[in-house]
Amino acid sequence: MDPRLTRLLDTFRALGPTAVAFSGGVDSSLALWAAATALGEGAVGVNVRSEFVCGHERERAERLGAFLGREAGARVLVRGISILAEEAVRANTAQRCYLCKGRVLEAVRQGAAEHFGAAGRPAAALAEGTNADDDPARPGRRAVAEFGAHSPLAACCIDKAGVRELARAIGLPNADDPSNSCLATRVPEGHELSYKRLTAIEGMERVARELGLVDLRARLVPCKNGGQALGQDAVRLLVRPGQLLLAQSLCARLEERARFFGFRHFSLGERT
């Protein structure tokens, strides 16, 4: 076995019963695989869903949860939260990621208590999928520290390339999936997050994928006069350079769908 996997399994064994924040991405999938392999029934994944998680990501989490259940005996709980119910989150300040991560970890902790049972037992450890490449200054890292959550991949010095290498070695089907971020990152900081804006962005990205584009982002371009209505927003679709010609050939169809979703203007750009 790869010595990095050995260290990772040993890390989970040292933690004891653990709930892993599981998104379906390759980082948290590797973490959950290791937890389930090391701890058996002492591990559980908790998939937390909010308005920031698009349908594409929810479907992937379901597929990966089922795969890890078959291959590693992992169990996954699904918990829903309404992150837009928080006024401070809707304001979309520099603290958004910190606030959201805290809500997610709270849901993971509650899921762990329900799953393992709180009476007469120590609380289960919390773990999440930060790897050694992730910036320790990210606001969400503060929430991880405040909750006492563990980051076993980072602790074992496994970077993103190492995560993908190990994921391929153990047969995870998402080993080479493009990295993704939540829908809130498509809206510039300081501009209000709303259900209408997020669903319009999600719809734009879904249409682009259906037309054959991959690894893309639909960035909201707010109205310069500060208007908050969706009909005043524009959208800019960013694609990888290798797909720019395809995107340009689809421009008329993409622009039509952008207007359907309520955007006043559509443009294309390169995602580097």
Q: Which residues of 18-41 are buried (b: 16+ CB within 10 A; e: fewer)?
A: bbbbbbbbbbbbbbbbbbbbbbee
The CATH architecture annotation of domain 3-170 reads 3-Layer(aba) Sandwich (3.40)
Cβ contact 131:158 at 8 Å:
yes
Question: For the chain, where do the domains classified as CATH 3.30.300 start and end?
Answer: 194-270
Question: For the chain, where do the domains classified as CATH 3.40.50.620 start and end?
Answer: 3-170
Residue-level pLDDT at 231? 65
- Phi/psi at 108 (5° precision): -65, -45
Residue-level pLDDT at 153? 98
The model scores a pTM over 0.75: yes
Residue-level pLDDT at 118? 59
Q: For each of the chain's 272 residues, which pLDDT tens digit applies?
A: 899 999 999 999 999 999 999 999 999 999 999 999 999 999 999 999 999 999 999 999 999 999 999 999 999 999 999 999 999 999 999 999 999 999 999 999 999 999 998 544 668 999 999 999 999 888 999 999 999 999 999 999 999 999 999 999 999 999 999 988 999 999 999 999 999 999 999 999 999 999 999 999 999 998 765 555 556 899 999 999 999 999 999 999 999 999 999 999 999 999 98
Residue-level pLDDT at 222? 87
Reading the block at residue 215, the tokens are: 């690894």
CATH 2.50.20 fits 194-270, yes or no: no
Residue-level pLDDT at 119? 46
Q: For residue range 4-42, list pLDDT tens digits in order.
A: 999 999 999 999 999 999 999 999 999 999 999 999 999
Q: Helix, strand or coil for residue 19?
A: strand
Residue-level pLDDT at 137? 86
